[in-house]
Amino acid sequence: MTGDAAPLILILGATGVGKSSLAVELAQRLNAEIVGADSRQVYRCLDIGTAKPTARQQAQAAHHLIDIVPPDYSLSLAEYQDAAYRAIEDISGRGRLPLLVGGSGQYISAVEEGWSIPRVPPDRALRAELEAYLQRHSAAALHERLRQVDPVAAARIHPNNTRRVIRALEVQRLTGRPISELQKKKPPPYRILRLGLRQERSRLYPRVDQRVEDMITAGFVDEVRRLLDSGYHRRLPAMSSLGYREIAAHLLDGLPLAAAIQRAKFSTHDFIRRQDVWFRGHDNGILWHTIDDLNIDDLAQSLAGWLADGANHAIGNG
C-alpha cells in the first residue's frame, strides 16, 4: 500500500474479549467511527443476546452496520461486504478514521481480502430441499455432499455451519461451478492495520459465562419470547445465534432454563475455539494484544504515529 491509501484499522478477536470497549476508546482518541463486523448485530430486535454496543457506547462513538435488517432477512455476505465498503468510504471521505470491529471472521476477511463473492440470488425451493435433507439426515451428511462437489469449500466450512454449507451447495448447483472457484480475491485499496485482542481461555471462558448470566438478568428470555411471539421462526438464521437457539428450546421444548443457560455457555466456548481457528488461518499480519495487559493510552499513541507516518511506523505486538 502507498502512503496515500486511506487507512483502515481492524479490531478483531474472540467473542467477549472486549473489542467494543476498546473500539469506543480508540474512536474517541483517533477521530474515528466504528463499522460493525458482527453477523448477528446486523439484526434489529436482537439486542441482549448479541451483546450490541450499549446506548452509551453508541453515543460516545458513531457506529455503522448495526440494526440494519429485520430478523427474517437473510443478509448475504456480498450485501454485507458492499455495505461495509460504502461505510468505510463514507467515513474516510469525511476525513475520519474507519475502525472495522468484530468477531465474525468471514465478514472481516471478505472486506480486508476483497473477496469476489458470487452474486447468486437465493433459490427458496432448492434451499428447502437442502434443509429437508439436513433434517432427514444430519449436518455431517450435508457437509459430505458439499465435500463431494467442492472439497476446497468443505475444508473451509465447519460441518455445523449449515447455513454456509447450504449456500455453497446452492451456488454450485445453480452455477455449475464450485463456490471456492468463484471466490477470488482482490484486496481493497486501503492501508490496513490489524489489531487482535486475546485472552487465555482459562480467563475468557469464565468471562463469557458471566456475560451469559448477565444477559439472562437483563431480560434475554423475554427478548427471545418477543421474537417468537412476533412470528420469527426458530430456524431463521438470526435465531440460530448463540444463546437464541438454546433459549428457544427452553421456551418451545420445555428445556429447563438452567440447562439452556449451560448449553449457551458451552456453545459460546465452542464458537471461541472456531474463531481462533479462523483467525489463525486468515492471519495477514495481525498484531495481537492481550487484553489483561493492554495500555490503551500507549496503543492510541502508537496508532496516531502509524496514521501520521504511514507504513514506516511500527506497532509492537502486545
**Model confidence pLDDT, tens digit, residues 91-128:** 999 999 999 999 999 999 999 999 988 888 889 899 99
- 41 is a domain residue: yes
- Residue 295 has a CB neighbour count (10 Å cut-off) of 11
CATH number of the domain that residue 152 is part of: 1.10.20.140
Average pLDDT of the segment spanning 50-60 = 96
Q: Quick check: 317 pLDDT over 90?
A: no
- Fill in the amino acid letter for 129: E
Indicate if 18 and 59 belong to the same structural domain: yes
Predicted confidence at residue 314, as pLDDT, reads: 52
- 159 is a domain residue: yes
Q: What's the mean per-residue pLDDT of the chain?
A: 93
Indicate if 111 and 220 belong to the same structural domain: yes
Predicted confidence at residue 2, as pLDDT, reads: 41
Give, in degrees to the nearest 5, the angle at Cα 153 between 149 and 158: 115
Indicate if 245 and 220 belong to the same structural domain: yes
Task: Please give the share of the chain, as a percent, with pLDDT higher than 90.
Answer: 88
Indicate if 219 and 88 belong to the same structural domain: yes
Indicate if 73 and 19 belong to the same structural domain: yes
Predicted confidence at residue 229, as pLDDT, reads: 98
- 318 is a domain residue: no
Indicate if 32 and 134 belong to the same structural domain: no
The string of pLDDT tens digits covering residues 299-316 is 999 999 999 986 555 565
Distances (CA, A) of 266 to 80, 242, 246, 260: 28, 10, 11, 10
The 10 Å CB-count burial string (b at 16+, else e) for 179-210 is bbebbeeeebebbbbbbbbbbeeeebbeebbe
Q: Could you tell me the three cell numbers for 12?
A: 478483531
Task: Please give the share of the chain, as a percent, with pLDDT higher than 70.
Answer: 96
What values do phi and psi take at 302, rounded to 5?
-65, -40
- 178 is a domain residue: yes
The string of pLDDT tens digits covering residues 18-38 is 999 999 999 999 999 999 999
What values do phi and psi take at 9, rounded to 5?
-110, 130
The string of pLDDT tens digits covering residues 209-221 is 999 999 999 999 9
Boundaries of domain holding 32: 6-117+185-312
Q: What's the rounded Cα separation, in Å, for the pair 286 and 11? A: 9
The string of pLDDT tens digits covering residues 120-143 is 888 989 999 999 999 999 999 999
Please classify residue 147 by burial: count the beta carbons closer than 10 Å to its beta carbon, then call 0-12 exposed, 13-18 middle and 19+ buried: middle
Predicted confidence at residue 185, as pLDDT, reads: 86
Which residue among 182, 201, 225 closes a domain?
182
